[in-house]
Amino acid sequence: MYSTAVLGCAWGDEAKAKIVDVLAKDADYIVRFQGGNNAGHTIKLKDKKYVFHLVPSGILYPEKTCLIGSGVVIDPFQLLSEMDELRSQGISFGNRFFIDPRAQIVLPLHRELDGKAETNSIQTKIGTTKRGIGPCYSDAIARYGIRFGDLFDNEYLKKRLENIIRFHNYPTSQIDTILNDLNPIINKLRPFLKQIPYLLNTIIDKNILFEGAQGTLLDITFGTYPFVTSSHTISGGIAIGAGFGKNVDRVVGVFKSYYTRVGEGPFPTELHDEVGNKIRIQGNEFGSTTGRPRRCGWFDAVAAKYAAMLNGIDEIAFTLLDVFSGFDTIKICAGYKIGDTVTTEFPHSSKVLEQVIPEYIELPGWDADITRITEYDMLPKNALEYIAKVEKLIGIRVTIVSVGPEREQTIFRKPEIAENK
């Protein structure tokens, strides 16, 4: 058994799905271990576009088994809608898609609570997708949550609904409404119930790929709190969210060649000028889930090294390098100036992070279209120097370079070249 994790190492939207899709070719099981349908993954295959929110993107390989672990929060209505859309595109789920009974269920009331929280003058505005993710995780911690396995015991489900309705001071008349809405879909979901920890920990001669959602800097504990998601997005979250107690053999950290962020929160290298807009347009930086434009900025090596440390990253997948074709100059943030001091430590406080001044390194850009290059050493000299500088600042080698959204637009670096840098 060999295990690999693909993790986003910024504020999400690092093109993880593309890397998962490429690496899933050599995996037998693909596992989603955290987050909910607030995550959007887009994959392009030839003339088709697939958008994922809850279903692991490895489902595109017909012989692979895809699993949703206990750390995921599931909106059952959205899940079935997503599955129906994928079925219409020729994807099958029979005997190769399973959900752990411990996964929490997002109810309509969670979406309502999420919307109220964003408009509450007391609560810090986070800029959530209002999908009910945060309130669902909150109820799980408060021990009022509904779990996937609860759906299949009518008497117990009703009792759990009574608890959560009273906890939120909703009228008890809503219980029957929720039950009536859930009843038609429960039987549709029953075939996918399976204890994922037992499955994963009895695998002997198969390969497992763990698929992260969101990004390291949105981790509930180590991210830019309170402007974070509600789950553990780092490698340590795999044990929590999938019940996988063994060490992951290979951790691939996904970094974009520039940084982006959606919602509120500090972003030291954010660009508010024509350069930032150029990155947004050339990178098509608009959310898969919401469609909202992403905030764009230069690569932040301070944040990147922090993310690499937290995840124990073994290698880097560098994505959207093609976006920089046509740039005269490219910058990398190599340090933060705080008052009279320059540091390479990522601050623990969002308040401090908002006040830092990035210390930049400037590198020459390139004009060539790199989207059809398939060999690493065929990349333009300045592109190679850019990657080399990122490697030096983070201290980890780049083994995968993505130069476009298609599977074939992926460059795998020869090990001997990476090791001899």
- Give per-residue burial for 23-62: e unless 16+ CB within 10 Å, then b: bbeebbbbbbbbbbbbbbbbbbeeeeebebbbbbbbbbbe
pLDDT attached to residue 421: 43
232 is catalytic: no
The larger pLDDT score, comparing residue 73 to residue 50, is at 73
Say whether 240 sits in a helix, a strand or coil: helix
User: For 135-187, what is each residue's pLDDT tens digit?
Assistant: 999 999 999 999 999 999 999 999 999 999 999 999 998 999 999 999 999 99
What domains can be seen in the chain, in order of their start residue? 2-103+191-242 (3.40.440.10), 104-189 (1.10.300.10), 256-419 (3.90.170.10)
Query: Which residues are CB-contacts of 199 (< 8 A; sequence separation ≥ 6)?
Result: 29, 67, 98
* Residues 47 and 57: beta-carbon distance below 8 Å: no
* HSE-CB for 208 with a 13 A CA cutoff: 28
Tell me how far apart the alpha carbons of residues 262 and 268 are, in angstroms, rounded to a whole number.
14
pLDDT attached to residue 417: 47
| Range 386-404 average pLDDT | 98
| Range 279-306 average pLDDT | 91
| Range 373-389 average pLDDT | 98
Q: Which of 21, 28, 41, 322 is catalytic?
A: 41
Query: Which residues are CB-contacts of 132 (< 8 A; sequence separation ≥ 6)?
Result: 36, 75, 106, 107, 108, 109, 110, 111, 112, 113, 114
13 is catalytic: yes
DSSP output for 189-215: HGGGB--HHHHHTT-SS-EEEEE--S-
